[in-house]
Amino acid sequence: MALADEILADLGSELEATDPDYNSAILSTKINIAIKKVTNARNYPEYYTQERINADLEKYYTQIRDIALYMYNNVGVDFDESYTSNKMSRTVISESELYRGIPKIARV
């Protein structure tokens, strides 16, 4: 199973049970964006094959899942640091905090 499909299945089943407004198309888009963001953060050398990149990205399943969920939960409040709705106040963490465990590939 491809990484994006695995995350969609896992996260999708969680959201179906907890979010009455769950939208699989939006989640799928956010997962693909999260994979691209982690790929860019890793900064793979040109000699890395797609197979090698895919194997490396598997190690970052949790981070990719968290980034996708972060983006999904912030649909409509993009770039806001906090917001209040229905007497509920929410402070949003910075997306950059989600990349702390994703080092760039070392170049020699």
Residue 87 and residue 15: Cα distance in Å, rounded?
23
Task: Please give the residue that has the higher pLDDT: either 9 or 92.
Answer: 9
Return the minimum-mean-pLDDT range out of 27-31, 76-80, 96-100. Answer: 76-80
What is the three-class DSSP state of 40? helix
- With 80 as the cut, is the pLDDT of residue 107 above it? no
Task: Please give the residue that has the higher pLDDT: either 33 or 100.
Answer: 33
Q: What does the pLDDT look like over 68-79, one tens digit per residue? A: 999 998 887 665
Average pLDDT of the chain to the nearest whole number: 90
Does 35 reside within a domain?
yes
- With 90 as the cut, is the pLDDT of residue 95 above it? no
Does 106 reside within a domain?
no
pLDDT (average), residues 50-67: 97
Beta bridge pairs of residue 91: 82
Does 104 reside within a domain?
no
- With 90 as the cut, is the pLDDT of residue 106 above it? no
What is the three-class DSSP state of 67? helix
Q: Which domain holds residue 20?
A: 3-99
Inter-CA distances, 107 with 31, 50, 51, 65, Å: 28, 18, 19, 27
Does 107 reside within a domain?
no
pTM for the full model? 0.84
Residue 47 and residue 26: Cα distance in Å, rounded?
33
Residue 3 and residue 7: Cα distance in Å, rounded?
6
Does 108 reside within a domain?
no
Does 60 reside within a domain?
yes
Please count the structural domains in the chain: 1
Does 105 reside within a domain?
no
Does 54 reside within a domain?
yes
